[in-house]
Structure 1
């Protein structure tokens, strides 16, 4: 991969999880001259090699990195550690047990930050982490705890207190907060993200968009094949049930009538 030429190297980003939905969009944004401080110099890292569809022009350099392996993190990141000013953390690993998730994801972020901060003339100043609405819902992937959760009711607000359960999102926030004030940080609790990546495991909106396009092409009504509650927090619906108990999603046509989308 040929390195990109950048006129402004004041900001140098390391996107960990660059091949995911958010990572791809971040890289596209940061290299634009119109971006604040842009164009940035962008390094991208992921556990697996770049997929064939990933545009290599988005990155100055790509690093295949196992952040869970401290030695691999040090070997791969030490050569660039003195350059990085900003880390964008948009990756995670998930297991069934939430305590394992806490330990594993915390170790990944710790390994990366330790390398970058230990560099001679280290420039790292800001860490941005992406979490999500599990912050307000609890460990929904844990097969035991998910049956016992007492979650917050939507709509969710950032001022809501933490739930009394293990949650690796909490662990990541506490980890970056511990570096203050020598590092600044930001936390982004995204709900549903739409984007294009074969590496994305949570891509409900793009799936629904493709399904809607097929329905339109075939002249079929768009019926969501699950319970109404799954749609209620995100989309307007008319509450009528279609065949098989599916919720029929509609929009107002301006005359007080609902039409299938």
Structure 2
């Protein structure tokens, strides 16, 4: 057993799915987070603060990872602070591991904000890329914490001699409680509230998103690409987009999501109707639903991240992901997007997160 994985951010959508996949493939797997997930069998928990180098060094003292998967980030009010904090987390981790001389590969998960700009300039005029987005698109001439994270990986790779890969998913869909960017669970909670309250399931986004082509990334697909890139010689030292492999229009998918819950779908109607405002008063309703249906999480804010779903669905352009770079190197995983959502909804229902 020569592969030892360290998943940084093991409680998130990407990290938890990746950890489960690594364990299935017989990797020794450590999961680093501030509040470790003890529910994944055979995952070795590591509790540490990525902003505290001493904390990291002590927590990782007994581990010798060969492959590091960095899936964590922290949101702050300004991009300058995002850059400072998120690059420091990467730098601290790789500094704490540097003396061990065991790391062979580091995989960093970022996303399509690489092409669309950071939150405070997200998909605004002047920063809009040509679509489908491709890895060779140059960096935007604005500050972006994804760039700072990449640069921290490049610097450490030059110092310590490991290979690297950068992974840029588009809207990761999967289960994670307390996650800051979680469209799948947000829509599941929204639909459940609509059903309980007798409200229509209204599309919250823009005309461009409603009518344009889009894609998403199943967390299981992302996990497989991370493992593939970290163990494939031809994939080393490259950036990879990653999505399901199909495309859709929300005006085609929205009604199918509504049908799964047995509710009325309402499409785009003249203007954006932010979901954050829609759900802002629904905390008490969700608490009542949690008690009525014996759900496992009564705090609406730990399941839904409406602000992020609004950002994705209110973009002024259609956004698709080109997958040619990894396809030609041998990564051919495909996932039907309808099944991505339906599989998640069923999992959430079985595990008592939605009624």
Give the shorter-chain TM-score range: 0.7 to 0.9
From 59, 81, 89, the equivalent of 1:100 is 81
Q: 1:208 to 1:153 in 2, by over 3 A?
A: farther
Q: Tell me whether 1:17 sits opposite 2:4 in the alignment.
A: no
Match of 1:258 in 2: none
**Cα distance in 2 for residues equivalent to 1:184 and 1:127:** 6
Structure 1's unaligned 5+ residue stretches are 1-7, 33-37, 248-261
Matched-pair contact (CA < 8 Å) for 1:137–1:152? yes
Number of equivalences: 224
**Cα distance in 2 for residues equivalent to 1:218 and 1:97:** 37
Match of 1:253 in 2: none
From 117, 122, 126, the equivalent of 2:98 is 117
Considering fraction of residues, name the structure with more helix: 2
**Cα distance in 2 for residues equivalent to 1:118 and 1:135:** 31
From 130, 145, 165, the equivalent of 2:142 is 165
Q: CA deviation at 1:217?
A: 9.4
**Cα distance in 2 for residues equivalent to 1:22 and 1:55:** 16
Q: CA deviation at 1:176?
A: 1.6
Match of 1:44 in 2: 31
Match of 1:251 in 2: none
- After superposition, what is the alpha-carbon deviation per residue over 1:19-63, rounded to whole angstroms, capped at 9, x for unaligned? 00001100110011xxxxx3000000112243xxx524140x211
Secondary structure at 2:106 match in 1 = strand
Runs of 4+ with deviation above 4 angstroms:
145-149, 209-222, 240-247
**Cα distance in 2 for residues equivalent to 1:139 and 1:245:** 24
Matched-pair contact (CA < 8 Å) for 2:206–2:272? yes
Match of 2:110 in 1: 131
Higher-Rg structure is: 1
Q: CA deviation at 1:243?
A: 6.0
**Cα distance in 1 for residues equivalent to 2:194 and 2:132:** 30
**Cα distance in 2 for residues equivalent to 1:207 and 1:139:** 21
Q: CA deviation at 1:213?
A: 6.8
Higher relative contact order (CA 8 A, sep 6+): 2
- Please report the TM-score for the alignment, with normalisation by the length of structure 2: 0.56
Q: Tell me whether 1:65 sits opposite 2:52 in the alignment.
A: no
Cα RMSD of the aligned pairs, angstroms, is 3.0
- After superposition, what is the alpha-carbon deviation per residue over 1:127-161, rounded to whole angstroms, capped at 9, x for unaligned? 0000011100112236xx98775231432111111
**Cα distance in 2 for residues equivalent to 1:162 and 1:105:** 18
**Cα distance in 2 for residues equivalent to 1:201 and 1:41:** 28
Match of 1:204 in 2: 183
Matched-pair contact (CA < 8 Å) for 2:10–2:36? no
Matched-pair contact (CA < 8 Å) for 2:13–2:175? yes
- Please report the TM-score for the alignment, with normalisation by the length of structure 1: 0.75
Matched-pair contact (CA < 8 Å) for 1:151–1:163? no
Matched-pair contact (CA < 8 Å) for 1:136–1:156? yes
Match of 1:4 in 2: none
Q: CA deviation at 1:182?
A: 1.1
